[in-house]
Amino acid sequence: MSGTVHVPVVQVGGDVHGGIHFHAAPEISWPVRVGVVPREADCYQSRPADAALSCGLTVLVGTGGVGKTQTAARHARGAGHDVVVWVTATTTQTVLAGYAEAAARLLLAEPGTGVTTAATRFLSWLQTAERTWLIVLDDVVDPAAMRGLWPSGSGQTLVTTRRRDSSILRADANVVDVTIFSAEQSESYLAAKLAAHPRLHAGAATLAAAVHHLPLALAQAVAYLVDRGLTCHQYVDRFQHQRLTALAPEPSGLPDDHRATVAVTWSLSIGLATSLAPLAKPMLQLASLLDPHGVPTAVLTNETILRGADGDDAADTVRCLHRLGLVELSTDGRMVTMHPLVQRVTREDMTAAELAGLAHPAAFALAALWETDPLDPALVPSLRANTSALMAAALHHLVGPGCHAVLFACGENLRRAGLLADARQHYEQVLRLAHPLLGGEHEEVLFIRISLANIRGDLGDIGGAVEEFSRLRDDCHRALGADHHLSLGARGNLANRQLEAGDVSGALAAFAELLADQTRLLGPYAEQTLTVRNNLAHARSAAGDTTGAIVELERLLDDLRRVYGPFHPTTLLSRANLASNRADAGDVAGAVVEFEGLAQEYERLLGTDHKDTLTARINLAAHRAKSGEFHRAITELEQLVHDCTNALGAGHPRTVLAWGLLEEGRQAVRHLSDTDHGQT
C-alpha cells in the first residue's frame, strides 16, 4: 500500500475553543515553618542555656516552670534553617500530626495520605535532606510516646522535657540544664515588668525569694499583683498566709500564654508519678515536710516509710521522681532536693490524716540517722536543717503525747556543738508547744528546761542559770521524786553552776551530798557516780585543795581505766583534769607531756576537727605558754584559731577561747620584749 493514510478525528463534547494549558507541579515556598512557635515571654531574661544549644540533638531539661519552652522558642525564632518544625510532643498523636503537616508542606504526601504514612515520609526525608532543618519537640512527657519518631540526619533536634530517662538523655545528646533565675535575673525581671507600676515594686527582692526564683511563679505573681494593685510586699503577705490556688490569676489573666497555674502544673506531674510508682505519693509527701535543699536519701528509703515495700522499690521510686523532674538526685545518690514550690503544692494537697500519718515516720527516719555511731560530720548540717523543716511543718504531731526523740537529738547536737543561740531557739520552740500540751511537770518538759538552763549558763548568764536550776531542783523533786535521774541531774547542774558563780563552798557541799546519793542508787562505779567524783575533785581544786584534788583524781583515773577502759570519754576527761591540777601544783612540764599524749589520743579516736580534739590542743597550747614556751604556743594557737573557726565556727566558745589565749600569749611576748629592751 502506498500513499497517505488519513485518519479521521472525532470531536467529543462540542467544539474546542482557545489553546491548550499545561499545569506546572506545585513548588515549595522556602523557608518552611510548621507549627506555632510560642511568642516570647514579656521581659525575657537571657540565660546561659540560650548560648548552650548546638547541632545534633540538644535536650533542655529542668523542673516545671523554669522556662525550657521559652528558651527553645527563642532559638526557633532566630534560626535561619530552611525547615523549622515546632511540635508539642505530649503524645504520639500530636507528634505524628506535626510530622504529617511538615510532610504536606514539603510535598512529601498527597492530600488524603494517612498521618502515619506522611510522618514516616517526613522522617525519611530528614535522614537525607540537603536542606538545613530544626525540629523542636516541646514538652516530651513520656519517652514511650516518641518510640520510632526521633528525627535523625544532619539537622538539629531540640527537645524540652522534665524527664531524665536514659532514653532521652542519650550519650550523643547535648544535655542542657535549665535552672531557676538567679537573684539578679529575678531582680531584673521584676524591675522590667513593674517599670510602668513603680509603686508596686516595693518588696520585689522579698517576692523573688518567696517564690524561690521560679520564672513561672514570678510571671504569675506579677500578673496577680498588677491586676489587683498590690505591692510586692502585700503579695508576699498573702503568699505566706493563703493557699497557692487562691493566689493564681484567673485563667484569662495567665501571662505569656501559660496553659496552667503553678499549682496545676505540679499537680499534673505528681499525678503522673503516682501512676508510675505506688510509693511516689507518700515519698513526695514525706519530702515535702523536709528540707528542700537536701534530704538524705536514707530518710526517704527508711523502712518506717516503706510500709511493707522493699528497699529496691523505695530506691526505684526515688529514681522515678528524679526522672520526672520532681526531685533532683545528687551525683552520689545520697541527697535529694525538691523545689520549695513543689513541696508546697504537695503539702497543700495533703489531708490532715496524711500529715499526721507521715510526721512520726519522718521523725523516726531522721532519728535513726542522728543515732548513727559514729555520726558522719558531713551529714550533721543536713540533719539539723531537716529536723527544723519537719518541726515547721508538723511540730504539733511530734509533741503529743510526748516529745519525739528527734527533737532532743537535734537540740543536744546544737548545744554540744556550741551553737547556743540556735539550740536555745530550738528548745524554746518545742517548749512553747510542749508546756501547755504536756504540763509543766512532765518529764520531757523538765528536760527541756534543764537544757535551756544550761544554755543560759553557757551564754554567760551564770546567775540566771543558778536561779533556774534551783527552781528545777525543787520542781523535779516534787514531780518525779528525789531519786529520779532528772532530779539528780538538776542537782549536779546546779552544783556546777554554783562553782562557776564562785560559790565554792556551796558547790562542795552539793557535790558531796550528790555523790552519796548517786553511790547509794547507782553504785560506786556507775558513769554518773564517777562523773560526780570528777566534779567534786574539781571543786576541791577551786577551793585551794590542789593536793586533795590530785589524790582524788588519781584514784578516779584508776577506777575509770579499770571499769571503762583507757579511751572512754570520762577517762580522757579525768586525765585532762589531773594534768591541769598537777600543773597548778607546779608540775607544768609534766602537764605539757600529758596534754601532748591526750591531743594525740583524741585525734586518733575522734579526728582532727572534733570539738574534744580541739579542746585538748587548746589545753596543750595554754600549758606550753604557762611553761614559758610562748613562741611555740602562739604558733599552735594561730593554727587552732584557724581550725576551730573552720570546724566549729567563729562564735563557738572554743574558738573564742583560742583567740583569747592567743592574744594573752602575744601580750606576754610583747611584755617580755619591752622588759628586755628596758634592761639593755
Q: Mind listing the pLDDT tens digit for each residue in 170-206?
A: 888 999 999 999 999 999 999 999 999 999 999 999 9
Residue range 229-277, pLDDT digits in tens: 999 999 999 999 999 888 888 888 888 778 788 888 878 788 888 888 8
The pLDDT score that the predictor gives to residue 267 is 82
Asked which of 253, 278, 308 is the last residue of a domain, the reply is: 253
Residue range 53-62, pLDDT digits in tens: 888 999 999 9
pLDDT at 532 exceeding the cut of 70: yes
Residues 304 and 284 in one domain: yes
Tell me how many domains the chain contains.
4
CB 666 within 8 A of CB 634: yes
Residues 359 and 285 in one domain: yes
Residue 7's pLDDT band (cuts 50, 70, 90):
very low
Among 10-14, 96-100, 154-158, 262-266, name the one with the lowest average pLDDT: 10-14
Query: Which range in 7-11, 16-20, 306-310, 392-396 is most confidently predicted, on average pLDDT?
Result: 392-396
Looking at the DSSP assignment, which residues form a beta bridge with residue 160? 60
Residue 136: which of 95, 91, 105, 177 has the closest Cα?
95
Residue range 324-362, pLDDT digits in tens: 888 999 999 999 999 998 999 899 999 999 999 999 999
Distance (Å, whole) CA 108 – CA 367: 65
Asked which of 348, 369, 390 is the last residue of a domain, the reply is: 369
The verdict on residue 111 lying in a domain is yes
Residues 244 and 272 in one domain: no
Residues 298 and 226 in one domain: no
Domain that holds residue 58: 32-177
The verdict on residue 388 lying in a domain is no
pLDDT at 539 exceeding the cut of 70: yes
Handedness of CA 567, 570, 574, 576 (dihedral sign): positive
List the CATH number of the domain containing 668: 1.25.40.10
Residues 69 and 194 in one domain: no
Residues 59 and 127 in one domain: yes
How many percent of the chain have pLDDT more than 90?
73
Residue 196's contacts (CB-CB under 8 Å, 6 or more residues apart) are none
Residue range 434-486, pLDDT digits in tens: 999 999 999 999 999 999 999 999 888 999 999 999 999 999 999 999 999 99
Q: In what order do the strands lie in the sheet with 295-296?
A: 295-296, 335-337, 328-329
pLDDT at 5 exceeding the cut of 50: no
Residues 68 and 114 in one domain: yes
Residues 151 and 171 in one domain: yes
Provide the 8-state DSSP code for 39: P
The verdict on residue 363 lying in a domain is yes
Residues 658 and 600 in one domain: yes
Residues 321 and 365 in one domain: yes
Residue 307's pLDDT band (cuts 50, 70, 90):
low
pLDDT at 677 exceeding the cut of 70: no
Residue range 422-435, pLDDT digits in tens: 999 999 999 999 99
The pLDDT score that the predictor gives to residue 79 is 82
List the CATH number of the domain containing 276: 1.10.10
The verdict on residue 82 lying in a domain is yes
The verdict on residue 85 lying in a domain is yes
Residue 20's pLDDT band (cuts 50, 70, 90):
very low
The verdict on residue 281 lying in a domain is yes
CA dist 176 → 57, 198, 569, 640 (Å) = 11, 35, 52, 44
Residue range 604-638, pLDDT digits in tens: 988 888 888 999 999 999 999 999 999 999 999 99
Angle at CA 522, nearest 5°, toward 519 and 526?
A: 90
Residues 278 and 229 in one domain: no
List the CATH number of the domain containing 153: 3.40.50.300
Average pLDDT, the chain: 90
Residues 274-285 have a mean pLDDT of 88
The verdict on residue 285 lying in a domain is yes
pLDDT at 24 exceeding the cut of 70: no
pLDDT at 52 exceeding the cut of 90: no
Residues 145 and 73 in one domain: yes
The verdict on residue 559 lying in a domain is no
Asked which of 329, 346, 369 is the last residue of a domain, the reply is: 369
Task: Find cell 514579656 and name the residue.
Answer: 42
CB 214 within 8 A of CB 66: yes
pLDDT at 19 exceeding the cut of 60: no
Residues 147-160 have a mean pLDDT of 95
CA dist 671 → 228, 632, 666, 676, 679 (Å) = 71, 17, 9, 9, 12
CB 56 within 8 A of CB 156: yes
